[in-house]
Amino acid sequence: MEVLSKDDDKFHVEDADRNEAHLTYEELINLLNKETEDGHHLWTFKEILGHRLIIRDGKNAMVVEVLWDTWERTWEPLNTFKTDDPVTVSKYVEKMD
């Protein structure tokens, strides 16, 4: 879910399916904390910890190490995060100089 803008007391958000909504802070937090109907947790991440270059299908690809809200660490394609959360990726790149 991506916050597009904030107007007064509501956030304009867009989900992975490109559906848009205007939610209060409480509604947004409840949505993020709610389990899905099949019992799965909606994953959010805390930060990008590192990065490395790998070879995938004969081409160079960048992956980032992600610290999830469950404290699990995984390596994920940079393009996924660049698309879903360009602000966090930009902050990470700036931090890494």
> Domain total for the chain?
2
User: Using one digit for the tens of pLDDT, what is the confidence trace for 25-75?
Assistant: 777 767 766 655 666 666 678 889 999 999 988 889 899 999 988 888 999
Looking at the structure, tell me whether residues 29 and 52 fall in a common domain: no
Looking at the structure, tell me whether residues 69 and 29 fall in a common domain: no
Contact (Cβ atoms closer than 8 angstroms) between residue 75 and residue 45: no
Domain range enclosing 86 = 45-96
Is the pTM above the cut of 0.85?
no
Phi, psi of 75 (to 5 degrees): -100, 130
- Asked whether residue 40 is domain-assigned, the answer is no
- Asked whether residue 52 is domain-assigned, the answer is yes
- For residue 3, pLDDT over 70 is answered with no
Looking at the structure, tell me whether residues 56 and 25 fall in a common domain: no
Of residues 16 and 71, more confidently modeled: 71
d(CA 86, CA 63) in angstroms, rounded, equals: 15
- For residue 2, pLDDT over 50 is answered with no
Q: Which among 92, 32, 87 is positioned nearest to 24, based on CA atoms?
A: 32
Which CATH number does the domain housing residue 75 bear? 2.40.10
